[in-house]
Amino acid sequence: MESRSRLSRALFCGLAGLLLSFVTAQAAEVKVMISGGLAAAYRVLTPEFEQSTGNRLSTAWGPSMGTTHDAIPVRLERGEPADVLIMVGSALGEMVRQGKVIADSRVDLVRSPIGMVVKAGAPKPDIGSVEALKRTLLAARSVAYSDSASGVYVGGELFKRLGIAEQMQGKSRMIPADPVAGVVARGEAELGFQQISELLPIPGADLVGPLPDEVQKITVFSAGVVAGSKEPEAARALIAFLASPVAAPTLRKSGLEPITK
pLDDT, tens digit (0-9, with 9 covering 90-100), for 16-66: 343 343 344 468 999 999 998 899 999 999 999 999 999 999 999 998 988
- Going from N- to C-terminal start, the domains of the chain cover 28-111+220-258, 114-215
Q: Say which amino acid occupies 114.
A: I
Contact 37, 198 (CB under 8 A): yes
pLDDT, tens digit (0-9, with 9 covering 90-100), for 155-173: 999 999 999 999 999 999 9
Pairwise CA distance, residues 68 & 63, whole Å: 8
Q: Would 28-111+220-258 and 114-215 be classified into the same CATH topology?
A: yes
Look at residue 66 in the predicted model and tell me its pLDDT: 84
Query: Which CATH number among 3.40.190.10, 3.10.105.10, 3.90.1150.10, 3.30.230.10 corresponds to the domain 114-215?
Result: 3.40.190.10
Q: In what order do the strands lie in the sheet with 29-34?
A: 56-61, 29-34, 84-88, 219-225, 107-112, 257-258
Is the model's pLDDT at 259 over the cut of 60? yes
The number of residues making up the chain comes to 261
Pairwise CA distance, residues 56 & 79, whole Å: 21
- CATH tag, 28-111+220-258: 3.40.190.10
Is the model's pLDDT at 224 over the cut of 90? yes
DSSP labels, 88-148: EHHHHHHHHHTTSB-GGG-EEEEEE-EEEEEETTS-----SSHHHHHHHHHH-S-EEEESS
pTM of the complete model? 0.78
